[in-house]
Amino acid sequence: MHNAKDKRIKKLKRKRIWPSVIGLFVLLSIMCLLSIIIMGASIVDIMQRKVNQSLARTEKIASLYEDYNDSNAKDINENVEAYIKISDEIGAVALVDKEGNPIWISGGEYPTLDNLVDFDVTYGEEVLHLKLIIVEGENQIFKIDNNELVIDDNILNSIKINNLSENNIFSENDANVIMHLNQWFLVPVGDIQVLVFNDVNLYGYEIIMPIMIGGLIIVLMLIFAIYYLVSVISVFVNMRKMTRLIYTDVVTGGNNWLHFVKKGTSLLKKNRKGKFNYAVLHLQMRKYRSFCTCLGVRRGEELIESFYNVLKKKLGTKEVMAHHENAQFAILLKYTDKQQLLNRISEIEKELDAVLPNMKLYFGVGVYQVEVGEKDIEQLYNNALIACEMLSEEADNQIAFFDVEMNKRKMWERKVEDDMDKALQNKEFKVYLQPKISARGEKLAGAEALVRWIHPSEGFIPPNRFIPIFEQNGFILKLDDYMLEEIAAQQAQWISEGKEVVPISVNVSRAHFTREDLAEHICAIVDKYNVPHNVIELELTESAFFDDKKVLLNTVNKLRNVGFIVSMDDFGAGYSSLNSLKELKIDVLKIDADFFRGASEQERGMLIVSEVIDLAKKLNMKIVAEGIESREQVDFLVEQECDLIQGYFYAKPMPISDFVKKYGGSDE
């Protein structure tokens, strides 16, 4: 997910408007060139047709001389002159003999017969045998192609044709005439040769339509270009807005986590030579959820925005910060030495605390001091976050610096969570039993089931290294069920073998008491093995009394009604309350081991133990003292008529096989 997100953001940032604009201009250039070619081709086509018409006129004049002789020469010549007068295209006609000597000339001049070109032209169904007089040598605008007279458009716009009137191809005399094409055609007729001077004119009105079509195409292309350009600019503007939105935090309106990563990474890369000392901070307001519960989520968000504005003012150049989540902020600070860094952090906390002068706010800060060359700011921030998580809840504002041991602890937590399900499936969790010895006669009267993890690669793992993790992530629920089922199965086996069994206590974590059907759930596990309920004792901690009291009381009553022994573990540790004894009907009270530790407080502790035992007796409860390590403690408990004693003085927790060897019973 993370890689996909980075790729999309980088792809968005790489988009530029210039390729689209350049592509637009290339497209416009191509379309304009095509428009010019279309207009040029149209004009050439018009001139081609006019030349074909001039060929027809030349044939018509030449046909008048088919019966030419001395008797009708005058009449024919007069008819030709009359035709010339009414024709705009025929400029002159000349008759010459086969040697080129003039016989008759309409205009008083005729061309020389040098550079005559013979060719046949198909006109309609007839083939005309023509000769063309080359007036300017090789620069003729006419050429022969497949027996047809065509215009050579390669030289159309670059040559001048000299004729009898010495007019240029582009006329300057008549504003309406755009182009003159003047040529002599020679047609042999019997013993004479007829020379016809054709004056082909291209008028302005004849090319209006091609020009209009070409112009319309250009106008349409300009409209399209403007629309396209506006669209591209609009997309570019929206893209910039979207980019800004991506880096904007929805709560504060300022920079968000993505901006912090981008800018922070850039600053660290530029500092690869270690010019500045940098520290990554994870700053959070503690008890933010309680604040929102009391004053509302909206007020909480307003507080976060105020914090953001304060932090922003405290930053200098080449520093960056952003709101992360809830009341947490990521900060990249420059510093000179550790003391100066601590002073800056303390100053920041004071400024934040002043946002609500009438309310005490609590902050926690995790700090990671960046080493030269480190630039993965997300990992560095995670280190600062780990440091902050190690802070205790008791103190006020606290600052914790990341060290290697913190990372090791986090890696261990990750390993435990990765392996726990597999360990449960493979039965790597082993049941250890610690005996409970009767104070009268010092014989076995019960046991407590404790879990140990025999890991395939880590070996023996004590419970203090995994139980707190399981309690935090909820896996303790599965582990408790597993332990209950293992004890039920073991008790069932010993009973089937005719062995005398003693009650074995199994811990029931406070997390179980969120479900109202807990009693039914426990019965379902035990009843699979047909074990009497009174050989299983269910231990719950007194802290469970401070969760859902109604569910707890209802569950305990159900369990006792179906024959289970219920005990309260660690009585006197932390939140002990006599009110819990008043409302919670239990069978066994376990006195916490802390009462028996510490020589200076031992006398006061023993006094409290004595009174607790006396109180429990009056409430018809059995007493178990745990953590007993000396004969003096045993003698005191015997004197106080304590029921059961549990501790290292008698035995440490041991595997079931060792328990069987020492106290009898049956092993698997």
Pairwise pLDDT comparison (6 vs 105), residue with the higher score: 105
How high is the pLDDT of residue 233? 74
pLDDT digits (tens, 9 = 90+) for 208-258: 777 777 778 778 777 877 777 777 777 777 666 666 777 888 888 888 888
pLDDT digits (tens, 9 = 90+) for 508-534: 988 888 788 889 999 999 999 999 999
Prediction pTM value: 0.55
The yes-or-no verdict on residue 591 having pLDDT over 90 is no
Contact criterion met (CB below 8 Å) for 402 and 374: no
How high is the pLDDT of residue 83? 83
Angle at CA of residue 560, ends 555 and 563, nearest 5°:
130
Pairwise pLDDT comparison (9 vs 611), residue with the higher score: 611
Q: Quick one: average pLDDT of 26-53?
A: 77
**What secondary structure letter does DSSP report for 370?**
P
51's tokens: 């030349």
The yes-or-no verdict on residue 322 having pLDDT over 60 is yes
Quick one: which of 129, 181, 191, 177 has its CA closest to 153? 181
Band the pLDDT of 501: cuts 50, 70, 90. Answer: very high
What percent of the chain stands above pLDDT 70?
78
How high is the pLDDT of residue 456? 92
How high is the pLDDT of residue 667? 44
pLDDT digits (tens, 9 = 90+) for 195-212: 787 777 776 676 777 777
Contact partners, residue 271, CB within 8 Å, separation at least 6 = 278, 372
**Within 13 Å of residue 352, how many CA atoms lie on the same side as its CB?**
27
User: 17 in helix, strand or coil?
Assistant: coil
How high is the pLDDT of residue 177? 63
Q: Among 73-87, 473-487, 613-627, 646-660, whose mean pLDDT is lowest?
A: 73-87
Q: Which span out of 70-79, 295-304, 483-492, 542-551 was modeled with the highest average pLDDT?
A: 483-492
How high is the pLDDT of residue 148? 44
**Percentage helix, strand, coil for the chain under 3-state DSSP, each rounded to 5:** 50, 25, 30
Kindly state the greatest CA–CA separation across the chain: 174
What percent of the chain stands above pLDDT 90?
24
What size, in residues, is the chain?
Answer: 668
Average pLDDT of the chain is: 79
How high is the pLDDT of residue 223? 81
Q: How far is CA 1 from the centre of its chain?
A: 7
How high is the pLDDT of residue 547? 62
pLDDT digits (tens, 9 = 90+) for 550-570: 888 888 899 999 999 999 887
Q: Quick one: average pLDDT of 587-609?
A: 75
How high is the pLDDT of residue 546? 59
Strand partners, 147: none
C-alpha span between 315 and 372 (Å, rounded): 21
The yes-or-no verdict on residue 28 having pLDDT over 70 is yes
Q: Quick one: average pLDDT of 271-293?
A: 87
Quick one: which of 175, 232, 239, 176 has its CA closest to 203? 176
The yes-or-no verdict on residue 577 having pLDDT over 70 is no
How high is the pLDDT of residue 423? 93
**Within 13 Å of residue 305, how many CA atoms lie on the same side as its CB?**
12
Residue 494: count other Cβ atoms within 10 Å of its Cβ.
19
Q: Tell me how far apart the terminal alpha carbons of the chain are, to the nearest angstrom.
A: 49
Q: Quick one: average pLDDT of 283-296?
A: 85
The yes-or-no verdict on residue 432 having pLDDT over 90 is yes
> Residue type for 291, please?
F
Pairwise pLDDT comparison (26 vs 383), residue with the higher score: 383
The yes-or-no verdict on residue 164 having pLDDT over 50 is no
How high is the pLDDT of residue 413? 85
Q: What is the 3-state secondary structure (H, E, C) of 406-466?
A: HHHHHHHHHHHHHHHHHHHHCCCEEEEEEEEEECCCCCEEEEEEEEEEEECCCEEECHHHC
Band the pLDDT of 117: cuts 50, 70, 90. Answer: very low
C-alpha span between 408 and 415 (Å, rounded): 10
pLDDT digits (tens, 9 = 90+) for 249-278: 888 888 888 889 888 999 999 988 888 999
The yes-or-no verdict on residue 424 having pLDDT over 90 is yes
Contact criterion met (CB below 8 Å) for 393 and 613: no
Q: Quick one: average pLDDT of 303-319?
A: 90
Contact criterion met (CB below 8 Å) for 522 and 557: no
Q: Quick one: average pLDDT of 129-152?
A: 42
